[in-house]
Amino acid sequence: MSLYDFYNLDNLRNRSAEIVYGRIERFLEQHEDFCHCEQCVLDLLAYVLNHVTPMYGTSLLDPLSPNPDREKKIDVEIDLALKAGSKRVAAHPNHDS
């Protein structure tokens, strides 16, 4: 059986990822020198998401109640990962030009 066939997995949300998406949007707006192509942006997203503690919740039962301490920790993790990840992707882009 496939979980996808029986359950709506869209109701399983990673709050950390949602925060990361917003932060990367702002990062791209503020760093025009960083390559905006899909490959580099997805590489940056993957790097940051791999370095940030996930915060999963179900939007049906648990509306992801805000937890300031946890979100502050996530913010610090994102800051560090964004700095390191953007440097790494810029230095070693997965494309030739």
Interface residues toward Zn ion, by CB under 5 A: 35, 37, 40, 93
31/72 with CB nearer Zn ion: 31
Residue placing its CB nearer to Zn ion in the complex, 57 or 93:
93
User: Which tokens go with 95?
Assistant: 């494309």
Contact 56, 48 (CB under 8 A): no
Report, in Å, the least distance between residue 38 CB and Zn ion. 8
73 burial type by CB count under 10 A (0-12 exposed, 13-18 middle, 19+ buried): middle
- Minimum CB–partner distance for residue 40 and Zn ion (Å): 3
- When the beta carbons of 12 and 42 are compared against Zn ion, the nearer one is 42
